[in-house]
Amino acid sequence: MDAAPGAVPSLLVGIAGPSCAGKTELARWLAARLGVPVLNLDHYYIDLAHLPLEERAKTNFDEPAAVDHDAILHDVAALRRGEPVVAPLYDFATHARARGGERIVPAGLVVVEGLFALYWPELREHFFVKLFVDAPDGLCLARRLERDVRERGRTPESVRAQFAATVQPGAERFIRPTRVFADLVLSGEEELDVRGPRALALILSRLNVPR
């Protein structure tokens, strides 16, 4: 893995888990305390702008094929080499890529989080710490209802229907099995000030940083 001239290789922390289990919350907590950026893999969903809106909404977003696997691997590898990337932005209300992107500049350490962060072997090999956050389906649904109605313009009925049709089955088929690859499995039912320090302690121990 050759870095660009002047680039300093970075270490990557991978965080996976079902939708609304608490991945993003943990990623932001860790990033704030470590002073490092977060790469959100949810923004790598394949652009569906060429389809009518009603067709986009019928897409199964809870299987690995829904995201741009090649782009994820490209950008994660670049970050590990210490090179900045411009990550895509995704509009979850319209199921299409948004204009522009987010520039992610490695800071010696980068937190990478997403549903399928531990799914592909070639992606897992980039992480020096692998975390998995899980929570009961009922809690995940309650959080998803609150988020999608408030932030993404969905109706409660559509959220429940999608959760039953693809979100929960996808979690059981593709996501929860990847917890076996994690160095640490955390409960999304725990308060953040409980699971956050546990994850941070593991990272610091791997870095040989005194706590």
CA distances from residue 7 to 3, 71, 79, 81 in whole angstroms, order as listed: 6, 20, 10, 7
Give the Å distances, CA to CA, from 194 to 130, 201, 202, 203, 204: 18, 11, 13, 15, 16
- pTM higher than 0.85, yes or no? yes
Q: How confident is the model at residue 13 (pLDDT cuts 50, 70, 90)?
A: very high
Q: What is the pLDDT of residues 127-142, one digit of tens each?
A: 999 999 999 999 999 9
Identify the structural domains of the chain with CATH numbers, from first to last. 11-206 (3.40.50.300)
Q: Write the pLDDT tens digit of every residue in 92-127.
A: 888 888 999 999 999 899 999 999 999 999 999 999
From CA 51, how far away is CA 125, in angstroms rounded? 35
